[in-house]
Amino acid sequence: MSRLRAMRRKQDGFTIVEIMMAIVVFLTAAVGMVAFEHAVMRSNSSSNDITSATFIGEFWLERGRVESLLWNRDATDLTIARAPLLASVGTNVGAANYSTGWLYLPALGSRAAAAPLNRYLETWPGAAGVVRDYAEFCIQYRLTVLMPNELMRMEVRVVWFKQGAGVSRASAGGTAWTCDAVAGSMLTGGAPDIRYVNTVQLATTLWRNQVQR
């Protein structure tokens, strides 16, 4: 009889307590997996933005290096038509330790001054007043004279909005717009507000090219 009772107990199903415990364990594991997947997706998105911002920064550093090839004599070479990025130094290229401070990009071709870019180096479309996508990039640059009329340092700072920042665009008249003060006073050279934006900063050295061009 005792063996029969034991066999019957073995054939009984799970108790409600056991089922509830199994459900709790399963749900806990599921929630952990969902949170892990979300964290991985955010990490991948952030890495993609950093890569894009670095590429954009390198692009403008390269533009500065190309313009430096046209810097052959003195400030007379650094004109807006000849070297739009380096022209901001002007006659101060002969002054040691002179710095332009942080500047927004000048108007280049069809691109308006201070216009934000997307990851493909295109001006971001859309009317003013529309909430920004976090993958829009604003660019600042700064030039510092290291050796008068010989050597400059060029720094590029790329700024883009954090996910969920929810910052609105500022209108610059009509449907045009620029990188506004909320992004870190981009028009006045202020430091970016890290509550709203991420930044990547790069630098290079520009030598005067003594080969006449």
Which burial class, exposed, middle or buried, applies to 141 when counting CB atoms under 10 A from its CB (0-12, 13-18, 19+)?
buried
Report the C-alpha dihedral over residues 53, 58, 60, 64, rounded to 10 degrees.
160
Q: Give pLDDT, residue 71.
A: 93
For the stretch 44-92, pLDDT in tens is 567 888 888 999 999 999 999 999 999 998 889 999 989 999 999 999 9
How many domains is the chain built from?
1
- Is residue 73, in this structure, part of any structural domain at all? yes
The domain in which residue 37 lies consists of 3-207
Asked if the structure places residue 179 within a domain, the reply is yes
R_g of the chain, CA atoms, integer Å: 28
157-181 pLDDT per residue, tens: 988 777 766 555 443 333 344 565 4
Is residue 212 one of the residues assigned to a domain?
no
pTM of the model: 0.70
Per-residue confidence (pLDDT) for residue 173, from 0 to 100 = 37
